[in-house]
């Protein structure tokens, strides 16, 4: 070993020590962050798996306090219906706003104001959207009182800023030179957006939308004030509707252990649904050409 | 995809373009000024682009070549804060006149960019057909037009078996020729090219240069280049720009052998730029 390398050795030693300490610290931090996550999953599985059965998925809650409480079929269907309608409202509007911001708004003051409000909306607690819809649509008695579609409206409001923000990022990723190429071919702006920008951004837009769907699916508060719980099954978005989060909310405070177990089963089902949607979103994101 | 209706490939290796148009189209610029916000990028340029000729625009970086080129098909105004004043005639029509449809201008004056930019979601075929589809052109045999355009771009033999594959799967040089095919598929009158070879290797560059020579039978061509040899090889006339102004515009031979302005001489002999 040469003298020059010997002279360097102490520095290298200290650096290695710092490196090791930092590594240990980061590892510990990661572990601490993982503990609650693992515990949540563990409790969910431990308490929820026992409640699952064929009947759990194929029967509606009976609403009886004693005797057979029934399954959660109406809650699953209700959640799917309400979230589907919410997506049908929230995603097109959100993508539309994002398109305005990226393609037309630019740095104009109006676009900046929209961006600011979207940011504020992202931070609004979900219960506020629930209250808003409660006052505007339920108390006012438009189309009856509680109804599935009113829950959808509340969830759509919740999804709107999430979709807008992430869609804006995705659309901004579409390279400008593609827009220029299309414009230089003599395509009108709206066609450039429809035929070039949207298809190029599609995988990212789907991912952004699915993540917003997953987020909305687990919300309880907006539905509590707007759709309310009914025990039986209903396909009618115009009437009261059951949903998984509200079912969990109701069941878990019951003194009947069987009903509490149903809450855990429903929670596990909800998490599984959300996980599925997130996985699909990740899969599509990975196939995206823009990432 | 069926090719039954298409004519068999000719054996000649030389790229053949669509049948030559009866008469060519020229462009004239008069007292053109272009700005980016407060930057005055083009300061009163007047010059002509002769029909079925290749006009090269050269000059040091930042002298406004790309800006002027983009003014020729009104792409300049797509940049936020950019504007242009003056007269640009395509034949007898002022493309900056009131009531002129920008979209129609760009259909008539096509553009090829520095970086090949095929549409990533589209196949080779769809890329070439994109201009016609985006313009909603009806009553054109797409297959025929795509083949003619790809032949015109000297790319047909290389891609005829993979028309359905993604356009971005081609090599860089092939992608650039694909973009040329895409530009000529809408049958423009003028084709503008902004440093079309600067991202290509010498062999791909040679192919594009041969292509330019062939294309001028059908189109009026304006090319921006940094490469003096390229300007000398492909162009009929050359315009030298400096700091947003036209210094001189003359037959290419004259510019390189006997320039009229000392700044041109310094530039073409490599003393600055
Ligand atoms: N998007 C823009 N915003 C503001 N100024 C710009 C923009 N594009 C170009 N400019 C300015 O306009 C002037 C001319 O630029 P231009 O791109 O036309 O030069 P060029 O001759 O094409 O240069 P190069 O050979 O490097 O491509 C330069 O001073 C440049 O800084
Ligand atoms: Mg340039």
pLDDT at B6 over 60: no
The answer to whether position B13 is within a domain reads no
Interface test with A, best of B74, B102, B106, B126 (most A CBs within 10 A): B106
Q: What is the CATH number of the domain that holds A193?
A: 1.10.3720.10
Q: What is the CATH number of the domain that holds B238?
A: 3.40.50.300
> What's the whole-number mean pLDDT along residues B212-221?
90
Please state, in angstroms and rounded to a whole number, the distance separating the CA atoms of residues B212 and B191. 10
- Mean pLDDT score of chain B: 85
Per the structure, the complete domain to which residue B249 belongs is given by 18-268
pLDDT in tens, B166-209: 888 898 888 988 999 999 998 899 999 999 888 888 888 888 89
Q: Please list the residues that pair with B250 across neighbouring strands.
A: B238
Q: Whose alpha carbon is nearest atom 3 of ligand 1? A: B36
Q: Which residues in chain A are contacts of B117 at CB distance < 8 A? A: 175, 177-178, 180-181
Nearest residue on chain B to A190, alpha-carbon basis: B134
pLDDT at A5 over 80: no
Q: Which of B37, B38, B45, B63 to mutate to test the pocket of ligand 1 (most atoms within 8 A of CB)?
A: B63
What's the pLDDT score for residue B268?
A: 86
Considering its fold, how many domains does chain A have in total?
2
pLDDT at B11 over 50: no
Asked if residues A219 and A156 have their Cβ atoms less than 8 Å apart, the reply is no
Sheet bearing B190-194, strands edge to edge: B109-112, B190-194, B220-224, B54-58, B237-242, B245-251
Is A197 in CB contact (< 8 Å) with chain B? Answer: no
Residue A241 CA, ligand 1 centroid: distance in Å: 61
pLDDT in tens, A56-85: 888 888 777 777 778 888 888 889 999 999
Is B99 in CB contact (< 8 Å) with chain A? Answer: no
The answer to whether position B273 is within a domain reads no
What's the pLDDT score for residue B21?
A: 45
Q: What share of chain A is helix, strand, coil (3-state, %, to 5)?
A: 75, 0, 25
Residue B100: Cβ-neighbour burial (10 angstroms; 0-12, 13-18, 19+)? middle
Residue A179 shares a structural domain with residue A39? no
Q: Which residues in chain B are contacts of A178 at CB distance < 8 A? A: 117, 119-120
Is A199 in CB contact (< 8 Å) with chain B? Answer: yes
Site of tokens 């304006």 = B222
The answer to whether position B8 is within a domain reads no
Confidence of residue B16 (pLDDT cuts 50, 70, 90): very low
Per the structure, the complete domain to which residue A18 belongs is given by 2-49
pLDDT in tens, A162-189: 999 999 999 999 999 999 999 999 888 8
pLDDT in tens, A186-199: 888 899 999 999 99
**Per-residue exposure over B231-246, b if at least 16 CB sit within 10 Å of its own CB, e if not:** bbbbbebbbbbbebeb
The answer to whether position B153 is within a domain reads yes
Q: Do A106 and B80 touch (CB under 8 A)?
A: yes
Is B106 in CB contact (< 8 Å) with chain A? Answer: yes
Residue A103 shares a structural domain with residue A173? yes
- Mean pLDDT score of chain A: 86
Please name which of B70, B73, B159, B161 lies closest in space to residue B118, comparing C-alpha atoms.
B159
Please indicate whether residue A42 or residue B11 has the higher confidence score (pLDDT).
A42
Residue A29 shares a structural domain with residue A129? no
pLDDT in tens, B26-74: 999 999 999 999 999 999 999 999 999 999 999 999 999 999 999 999 9
Asked if residues B191 and B215 have their Cβ atoms less than 8 Å apart, the reply is yes
Of B115, B120, B130, nearest to A185 by CB-CB distance is: B130
Residue A152 shares a structural domain with residue A8? no
Residue A229 shares a structural domain with residue A106? yes
**From the CA of B67, which ligand is nearest?**
1
What's the pLDDT score for residue B221?
A: 93
Q: Do B120 and A177 touch (CB under 8 A)?
A: no
Is B80 in CB contact (< 8 Å) with chain A? Answer: yes
pLDDT at A90 over 70: yes
Asked casually if ipTM beats, i.e. exceeds, 0.85, the reply is: no
Asked if residues A62 and A231 have their Cβ atoms less than 8 Å apart, the reply is yes
Residue A119 shares a structural domain with residue A203? yes
Please state, in angstroms and rounded to a whole number, the distance separating the CA atoms of residues A227 and A79. 11
Residue A167 shares a structural domain with residue A233? yes
- Give the pocket of ligand 1 (CB within 6 Å): B 36, 39, 41, 59, 61-67, 79, 226
**Per-residue exposure over A171-200, b if at least 16 CB sit within 10 Å of its own CB, e if not:** beebeeebbbbbbbbbbbbebbbebbbbeb
Is B73 in CB contact (< 8 Å) with chain A? Answer: yes
Is A186 in CB contact (< 8 Å) with chain B? Answer: yes
Q: Which of B42, B66, B69, B241 to mutate to test the pocket of ligand 1 (most atoms within 8 A of CB)?
A: B66
pLDDT at B225 over 80: yes
The answer to whether position B2 is within a domain reads no
The answer to whether position B33 is within a domain reads yes
Angle at B4 between CA B212 and CA B22, to 5 degrees: 35
Residue B66 CA, ligand 2 centroid: distance in Å: 4
Atom of ligand 1 nearest to the CA of B59: 21
pLDDT at B4 over 60: no
Residue A200 shares a structural domain with residue A119? yes
What's the pLDDT score for residue A180?
A: 92
Considering its fold, how many domains does chain B have in total?
1
What's the pLDDT score for residue B258?
A: 87
Q: Whose alpha carbon is nearest atom 5 of ligand 1? A: B36
Residue B188: DSSP 8-state:
-
The answer to whether position B220 is within a domain reads yes
Residue A73 shares a structural domain with residue A196? yes
The answer to whether position B94 is within a domain reads yes
């Amino acid at each position: 070993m040469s003298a020059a390398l010997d002279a360097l050795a102490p520095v290298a030693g200290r650096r290695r020590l710092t490196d090791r300490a930092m590594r240990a610290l980061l590892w510990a931090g990661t572990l601490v962050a993982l503990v609650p996550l693992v515990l949540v999953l563990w409790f969910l599985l431990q308490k929820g798996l026992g409640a699952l059965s064929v009947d759990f998925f194929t029967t509606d809650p009976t609403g009886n306090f004693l005797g057979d409480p029934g399954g959660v079929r109406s809650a699953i269907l209700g959640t799917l219906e309400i979230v589907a309608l919410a997506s049908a409202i929230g995603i097109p509007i959100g993508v539309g706003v994002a398109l305005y911001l990226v393609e037309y708004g630019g740095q104009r003051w109006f676009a900046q104001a929209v961006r600011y409000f979207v940011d504020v909306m992202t931070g609004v607690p979900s219960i506020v959207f629930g209250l808003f819809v409660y006052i505007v649509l339920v108390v006012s008695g438009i189309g009856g009182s509680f109804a599935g579609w009113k829950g959808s409206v509340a969830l759509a409001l919740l999804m709107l800023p999430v979709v807008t923000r992430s869609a804006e990022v995705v659309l901004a990723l579409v390279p400008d030179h593609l827009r220029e190429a299309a414009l230089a071919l003599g395509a009108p702006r709206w066609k450039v957006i429809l035929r070039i920008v949207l298809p190029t951004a599609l995988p990212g837009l789907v991912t952004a939308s699915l993540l917003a769907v997953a987020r909305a699916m687990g919300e309880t508060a907006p539905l509590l004030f707007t759709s309310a719980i009914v025990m039986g099954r209903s396909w009618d978005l115009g009437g009261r509707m059951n949903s998984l989060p509200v079912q969990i909310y109701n069941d878990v405070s019951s003194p009947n252990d069987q009903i509490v177990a149903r809450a855990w089963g429903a929670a596990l089902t909800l998490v599984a649904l959300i996980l599925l949607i997130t996985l699909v979103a990740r899969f599509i994101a990975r196939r995206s050409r823009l990432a | 995809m069926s090719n039954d209706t298409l004519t068999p490939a000719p054996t000649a290796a030389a790229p053949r373009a669509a049948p030559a148009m009866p008469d060519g189209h020229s462009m004239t610029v008069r007292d053109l000024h272009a700005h980016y916000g407060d930057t005055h990028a083009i300061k009163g340029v007047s010059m002509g682009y002769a029909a079925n000729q290749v006009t090269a625009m050269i000059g040091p970086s930042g002298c406004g070549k790309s800006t002027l080129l983009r003014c020729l098909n009104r792409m300049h105004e797509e940049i936020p804060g950019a504007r242009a004043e003056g007269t640009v005639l395509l034949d007898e029509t002022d493309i900056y006149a009131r009531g002129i449809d920008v979209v129609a201008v760009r259909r008539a004056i096509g553009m090829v960019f520095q970086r090949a930019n095929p549409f990533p979601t589209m196949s080779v075929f769809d890329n070439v057909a994109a201009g016609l589809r985006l313009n909603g052109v009806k009553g054109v045999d797409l297959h025929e037009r795509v083949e003619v355009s790809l032949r015109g771009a000297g790319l047909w033999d290389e891609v005829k078996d993979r028309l359905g594959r993604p356009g971005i799967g081609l090599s860089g040089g092939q992608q650039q020729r694909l973009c040329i095919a895409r530009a000529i598929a809408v049958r423009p009158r003028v084709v503008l090219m902004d440093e079309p070879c600067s991202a290509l290797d010498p062999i791909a560059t040679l192919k594009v240069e041969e292509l330019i020579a062939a294309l001028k039978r059908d189109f009026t061509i304006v090319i921006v280049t940094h490469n003096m040899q390229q300007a000398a090889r492909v162009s009929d006339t050359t315009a030298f720009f400096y700091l947003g102004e036209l210094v001189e515009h003359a037959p290419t031979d004259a510019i390189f052998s006997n320039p009229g302005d000392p700044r041109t001489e310094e530039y073409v002999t490599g003393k600055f730029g």
